[in-house]
Amino acid sequence: ITGTNTSFQQITAEVLNVDLDAVSVTTGDTRTAPFAGMSAGSKTTYTVGRAVILAAEDAKRQMLDIASQRLEATPEELEMADGEVRVIGAPERMVTFKRIGRWSTNFGAPYPAIVGRGAITARKAAPGFTAQAAEVEVDPDTGEVTVLGFAVAQDAGFAINPLSVEGQIQGGASQGIGLALSEEMIFDAQGRLLNPNLLDYRLPTTRDLPPIEAIIVEVPSEEGPYGARIVGEPSIVAGPAAVGNAIAAA
């Protein structure tokens, strides 16, 4: 639900120079899918995205090798566009992706099936950076706090999918506002949790949240796919401080 599959589609479509709807992403069971580490730490696009690039490039090399034999041209003389492999400068000399697929998967196919593979090591982190501002109104008689406005500027490295990056930033900021104002585990003198459910433990809803402006900053990382950094969690951390400082100023 974080939008990473769409990012993987975009990465593959970029490498193969095809439309997004020509790529599908299947989420496999962990018993059969390749090892990829856990989905945590805001690292899924940052790590798996790099493996997707390598796998797509591997598949591309295999496709160009087949096309070069059929078109009697070197792979360097070929280009991919619109679901076809063409000879540069002679677009009439081409084969379609579908035909290459049949040549490698039909009964008695003359070429092995095309399976792109990519594996990476993730030794280096690409930290996310965020700056946040909150505008609040405080009732001096009751102490009630109303957040009127909230803005987040965050370095995403490179926003592969700006819409999902913006959504991740806004979602994280919502959690930060909740941490600041309403989320608290309350215990009695015997150590029993008094608000163990979502009826008593107050998570912010859309009625509690102000408009959240997400400003995407792009300073590419050295390791991430196309320079992408982590996104999901940095936007959570600064929220309580921004709200707290706004209350102090009020």
Residues with catalytic annotation?
A: 233
Angle at CA 7, nearest 5°, toward 214 and 239?
30
Secondary structure tally for the chain: helices H, strands E: 6, 6
Helix or strand run (H / E) with residue 79: strand 78-81
DSSP classification of residue 215: E
Contact in structure between 124 and 222 (CB atoms under 8 Å): yes
Task: Compute the 3-state secondary structure of the chain and give helix, strand, coil in percent, each to the nearest 5.
Answer: 40, 20, 45
| Residue corresponding to tokens 């707290």 | 244
| Residue corresponding to tokens 């998570």 | 203
CA–CA distance from 8 to each of 11, 32, 171, 204, 225 (Å)? Answer: 5, 19, 21, 31, 10
Gap between the Cα atoms of 74 and 87, Å rounded: 9
Amino acid at 143: G
Q: Name the CA radius of gyration of the chain, rounded.
A: 25
